[in-house]
Structure 1
Amino acid sequence: MRLILAGFVSAVALSACSPSSAAAPDVTSDLEVTLTPVVEAEFPWGLAFLPNGDLLFTEKDGGLNFVAGGEGEATPVSGMPPALTEGQGGYFGLTLDPEFETNRLIYIAYAKGTTADNGTAVVRARLSDDNAALEDLTEIFLADARDTAYHFGGRLQFANDGTLFVSLGEGFKYMKDAQDPKITHGSLVRINSDGTIPADNPFADGADGKPSVYSYGHRNIQGLYYDAEEDRLYATEHGPKGGDEFNIIHPGANYGWPVVTYGVNYDGTIITEQTEKEGMEQPLTYWVPSIAPSGLTRLTSDVYPGWKGDFFVGGMNGPAGLELVRVRLEDGQVTERENLFKNEYAIRDVVEAPDGHLYVATKDLDGIFRVDIAE
């Protein structure tokens, strides 16, 4: 499969862009890659490799699954709580405890409740020794309630200090609440592994924001990656029609939605005339048209020559979506963007396996694939 040159960000968006958020040159590298199907799955959502190469993955409607060796037949893992699967609801991201090899704990986000009363919840449970069931399941977090089945967030990432980041959407129709750090709508929260609040959270005292809130002004973060060497959190989030973002997350920071955006409403009407404002963060890069970015990882291996250290972003939808995007970041600036597998699959998640290969989960019925170098 040949790598295809991506379209540039529109001239209108570029003219409104500050230097810190300017779109990087779109490139085509010499390396050719292809997708190899490895697991059959229906609406896979989140991927997590065990240290030995086994794979856990969630399906939006189907719960948790296990794949020995990371490829082949999936078997269901019992013990999952019931989820709201209407709209964009379902089972979302998952991650392993930093001490998984000794405690076998995993964490899973899902939509809890009914269409009229729901929120993103996070549960912790022990994966049984035979990988067939969840044991001692405990809810450790529940977001503020909404009455909409859209924009749940649902990505999870651990930091070096053992705290857990959880991304939350603003429920679509509650976009103004994203500007209120006293509400979890449109925020990124940070909790301890037992659900308690870290004492050094930016609003830990509750005076100016909810103690669990770490950053706010988000629309719907669907990609989250913590770089352990840098001690830095990166995120991708959906804009409306255009304006998808790739950000570095800072404690207590406001990411602008819906006061500033590079996108417009789905019907083309203007949300705001502002693309930047003092006190609000600018993205490292953004997409106009949209790709609906979902899933985010950084390559740490040498499997793909010349790509070590680059980020990879799944694209699920939109005029420029259905792709995997390689993003190069140098000295805090995005210097390259490359579209891989253009118009092949809607990609929901991307992770690096213990052997250094990238794996992607597609949004629909296509399944899970390994990214291989083309022969």
Structure 2
Amino acid sequence: MSSPSHRFAASRIAPAQRVEDYVGVQIDPERRRGRGAGINPSGRFEPARQLFDDGWGSADDLPPFRTEVQEEQPRRIITTNQSPDISFDRSINPYRGCEHGCAYCFARPTHAYMGLSPGVDFETRLFAKPNAAQLLERELAKPGYQPRTMAIGTNTDPYQPIEKRYRIMREILEVLEAAGHPVGIVTKSALVLRDIDILSRMAERNLCKVALSVTTLDRKLARAMEPRAATPERRLSTLRLLSEAGIPTTVMVAPIIPALNESEIERILDSAAAAGVREAGYVLLRLPLEVRDVFKDFLERAYPDRAKHVLSVIRSMRGGKDYDATWGKRMRGDGPYAWQIGRRFEIAARRLGLNRERRQLATDLFRPPVAEGGQLSLF
């Protein structure tokens, strides 16, 4: 079987390394219709390739980018971290890549490790892990495993469109429910409502919470920036239905982008509180590695009148750089502009009664699954 990089690279157009190299050679708008990235630069770990005109105009005849899914069989499914500025130490990613196509997605650079582009490839060349539930059951059954909240959706969305077919996330939830293991979910998709039966049962035992990211209430901006994610109205409706089912909900105003969606902080929190949300959080726009070029290209295409201003304000909150990965600063930024964003968020949240309590999920209900061929407990 050929490697993913060989399999996908032959059909890709990866003409350049920087946004500046794309002047006059942007991917045709009709070909990338419905996709968030307008470029498909070479990944860090593959050779740069240049667009070549063979005189036949063949580039114009290429079909639209279709979503392709390759199944992979990882050996482990739980990823651990020791980052001091995030609230979880373990997570699961059922998929690599994300069809939602958010132009700002900080997970885009992970596709470079697969020999693919963090641009359009990230949205169209996806990887599914169909054995995730079996791996999870095996890892939870290991002697000495200590339960803490399992985070899902912190990298790519577990409820992106291909989940309708693969149902990997639902199988994971079935394992977690049976084991009495707590889980925290982050998504932009209304598909999470499909699993409201499992989630409501887990919520009765204080085993789950669900966060939806609401980036904007402006349908035009959402369509341009998050082309295949649920509409803002659907996300708020999803929060309401989850809350009515007794499932603890959180709204993530994320990412906050200065001079683009920053003015909506208070309105998003107002709408989420009216939908029954009791907790809220925010994250400032992050532009690590290749995300910078994809996002800059998006701004220049969709909002050319304010692109330079947006980037200038971002740099004012990142020590003059496009991004600062320092722990404690990467999520919130630094400087006066970042400070006032934080205070606005806090004041609005306090006014609405949000974050008065931070729900801690139960860990004392955990019962390890019985490993295949293992012996049942007497008690």
The verdict on a shared fold, with TM-score over 0.5 as the criterion, is no
Structure with higher Rg: it is 2
- TM-score when scaled to structure 1? 0.26
For normalisation by structure 2, the TM-score amounts to 0.26
Indicate the structure with greater helix content: 2
